[in-house]
A and B are shown apart, each in its own frame.
Chain A
């Protein structure tokens, strides 16, 4: 029992997993589990250690146990897939239980397979599942979104703790490549969003050039803000604040009536805090509005409408 937990590299969420294992043992599969337990001592470490070994070596270790005793659970995994594995005698029942029980766990994504970007050490569960299923044409793999490193994308982790990635036909279905592909797809999706946001990035091919454009765009926008702030600084001393209060009065009438149907981002009308002082005269300074209208420089129609 403990060996099994060690094998599977249980870091957290061990509760449901143990339940799964005990449940399975009660189903008279204890002999297969015993065989797993009697694997060579170097395997009693975390199962992830196995995965990081070269594939051939891992397969050899698996062949040490007899494949003939792989349990056949009715309706779980079709026998042909088990044969394809040959020597993988991983009890698919446990994997199936994992499927059921780990959908609610929030653990780190197995994203350490790439060498490029540093990420946290992977978890072995999803990869273990895939070993049993990945020879099928389409297979679902559960990849838990990382909740440790991001504070900002909580929206994805709240709504969708698992991202189901299908292994497409004809593609490598190694554990590593599945995780890598999921990660790449995430990154590519976001790059596509950025491309749409930045004008003129649709034509460009290649990540590096697109990133160049994005960086350029951000710098341009920041420079524009700087320029505009200088303009405002130059303009400001010449304006008395009557203008602002008039505009504020317009604003007051506006905010009450114009809740746009875009309920996506529920921004309530903020209580005057932080940058606000509750000094906006909503009813006052109408005479100054007339002054402005007399000059005819503002949008007179709108000013008239609001006042």
Chain B
């Protein structure tokens, strides 16, 4: 399975390669030649872009994904609405992605921890749903928030997008974001090829309904 998901080994070094059905895997060791002053930045770059593009990582992710999806299927018992199943699938895929990260990144730990917290809440039957109440929307507060420089605002938005990175300082936030983007790209590639595989393998008479 994993081989058909990520079939070819491509030795080209381009990052912005067009997404084709056959995934490109990078096995070369050369990092970006772009002017990076510190070796530290180079290490980070190698780390984040390489680690989500290796053959092995993709195989591991794909295999775990398939297994997890099977269990989702068993658990949901062909629930009626597709959207709820879709949400489960997405959460499962995210958790598998976070598990693939091996706990080295903050967003992965946050994703896995969120599930543990949800399970605990379910067990303790805590009905309190208000995890994070939004700040009081007073005019003064709004004015103060909007007065922050534009870059700061965008950094905050980025922090909200990356799971578990709301209160992270700027350089680490950028690190997390780059790792998260690389991981998401791998996830998209894996799920895309899986969907196409399953669609192709399905009996051709069935019509796929796209919500």
Contacts and interface: CB of A to CB of B under 8 A. Distances in A.
Interface of A: 116-119, 146, 149-153, 155-156, 159-160, 163, 183, 185-187, 189-194, 196-200, 207-208, 211-212, 214-215, 217-219, 221-222, 224-226, 228-239, 241, 243-244, 246-248, 250-251, 254-255, 258-262, 264-265, 267, 269-270, 274-277, 280, 292, 295, 297-299, 302-303, 306
Given A189-B40, A239-B202, A258 B59 contact: yes
Given A189-B40, A221-B184, A233-B86, A254 B178 contact: no
Contacts of A246: 1
30 contacts: A118-B169, A149-B169, A151-B106, A153-B172, A155-B44, A189-B38, A189-B40, A189-B41, A192-B41, A197-B49, A207-B151, A215-B158, A218-B158, A218-B161, A221-B181, A221-B185, A225-B187, A234-B82, A235-B195, A235-B198, A235-B208, A236-B198, A247-B1, A262-B27, A262-B54, A265-B57, A267-B57, A275-B96, A297-B200, A302-B7
B130 interface: no
Contacts of A185: 37-38
A246 B25 CA distance: 23
B44 A302 contact: no
A272 B210 CA distance: 34
Given A262-B55, A270-B60, A234 B209 contact: yes
B177 interface: yes
Contact of A189 (B37, B63, B176): B37
Interface string B1-13: 1111001010000
Q: Max chain B CB contacts within 10 Å: which of A116, A193, A238, A264? A: A193
Interface in B142-165: 149-152, 154-155, 157-158, 161-162
B56 interface: yes
Given A193-B174, A229-B89, 16 more contacts: A151-B106, A192-B41, A194-B177, A221-B188, A222-B161, A225-B184, A229-B90, A229-B93, A232-B198, A243-B201, A248-B66, A270-B60, A275-B92, A298-B4, A299-B7, A302-B3
B46 A264 contact: yes
Contact of B200 (A151, A193, A265, A298): A298
A306 B5 CA distance: 14
A82 to B, nearest CB: 31
B90 A194 contact: no
A119 B206 contact: no
A260 to B, nearest CB: 4
B201 to A, nearest CB: 5
Given A189-B38, A265-B57, A232 B195 contact: yes
A255 B63 contact: yes
Contacts of B168: 149-150
Interface in B113-162: 149-152, 154-155, 157-158, 161-162
A146 B197 CA distance: 46
A152 B174 contact: no
Interface in B32-68: 32, 34-41, 43-51, 54-57, 59-60, 62-64, 66-68
A150 B199 CA distance: 43
Interface in B74-118: 78, 82-83, 85-90, 92-96, 99-100, 102, 104-106
Contacts of B45: 193, 196
Contacts of B85: 233, 236
Given A197-B178, A221-B188, A260-B56, A152 B104 contact: yes
Contacts of B155: 211
Given A228-B191, A254-B59, A160 B180 contact: no
Contacts of A260: 9, 25, 27, 54-56
Contact of A295 (B48, B104, B201): B201
Q: Report, nearest first, the 7 A-B pairs whose CB atoms are least far apart.
A: A247-B1, A189-B41, A229-B90, A190-B174, A260-B55, A211-B154, A228-B191
A235 B202 contact: yes
A197 to B, nearest CB: 5
A226 B86 CA distance: 7
